[in-house]
Amino acid sequence: MKFIDEARIYVKGGDGGRGCVSFRREKFVPRGGPDGGEGGKGGDVIVRASKDHHTLLDLKFNQHHVAGRGAHGSGNNRTGRSAPDLEIVVPAGTVIMDAESGELICDLAENGQSCIVAKGGIGGKGNASFATATHRAPRFAQDGMKGEERWIRLELKLLADVGIVGMPNAGKSTLIGKVSAARPKVAEYPFTTLTPNLGVVVLAGSDPFVVADIPGLIGGAHAGAGLGIKFLRHIERTHILIHLIDVSGGAQSAWADFETINRELALFSAALEGKPQIVAFNKIDLAEDRKEIRKGIGFFRKKGMVVFAISARTGEGVDALMAEVARRLASEKEGRK
């Protein structure tokens, strides 16, 4: 299944049905009077979040969504049937905005949440509604109101507890494949990951948590360098970031890489800039001088960072890293109660 995390669609609520102009025509009722009924209500367009959907692919190629119109009123004061609502199902975590103004309409962060994005028009009144003591035989009725219409933009933000960030080829996909059942593409060249990956980590004695890795960032990503920063929205909802740094060639550039990534996070959003981070020096199995790596860890710790030395390929140090992540998540969850 192709991963699509953005879509722009047109939605229109159904028009209300027309009111009816009608007069009673019954034997022995010479002046029956008006009996035109009201029109039915047009259907609303409703967007509902579902955990069973994982992409906006369907909406990318099906852009027009129009609800049905209400039935017209009829004689004998019969109201027209209201049209059923039109439901659009999207993945949980989808944000909906007005495509023209950019105004936030709703954030469907949880499974089952829904919102009306285009209201249907109400039905018009029949001539029976306009009868008065001085105007007993009105020969007019209302048209139904038009349904709301607009273009909306949908953006999917994956629901994950932990996000993995780092330079291209830092080992993010290898790590998520090591700690979960996810099987992302892994290769010895940069930008192997082209779409975000999700994995569920299950540790004994702690609640399972979801980890997301995103395509690698480079300096200037905010201006479109590399794959840009469009995938960063997928870690905006996370509680903790694992900042993965490749130290297979030594730790000399570790701090520079760390600052480069954090600069891109800050340029994308203030929420990401202030998110707690755990630093992981990866690929220590390939490093020739571990003494230099220990110096690099000491430098980071002096800056107040929590640092782990790991090898995502062999699994060295990974259990300790995941245990710290689980401890942090449990502590934050307790703090939110």
What percent of the chain has pLDDT above 70? 90
- Given the candidates 3.40.50.300, 2.60.40.10, 3.40.50.920, 1.10.357.10, the CATH classification of the domain at 162-336 is 3.40.50.300
pLDDT band at 189 (very low <50, low <70, confident <90, very high): very low
Reported as a single tens digit per residue, the pLDDT across 19-28 is 999 998 888 7
What percent of the chain has pLDDT above 90? 50
Reported as a single tens digit per residue, the pLDDT across 116-125 is 999 999 999 9
- pLDDT mean across residues, the chain: 87
Domain ranges of the chain: 6-156, 162-336
Burial annotation 149-170 (CB, 10 A radius, 16+ → b, else e): ebebbbbbbbbbbbbbbbbbbb
CATH class of 6-156: mainly beta
| Section 14-21 average pLDDT | 97
Reported as a single tens digit per residue, the pLDDT across 84-108 is 999 999 999 999 999 999 999 999 9
Reported as a single tens digit per residue, the pLDDT across 224-235 is 655 556 678 888
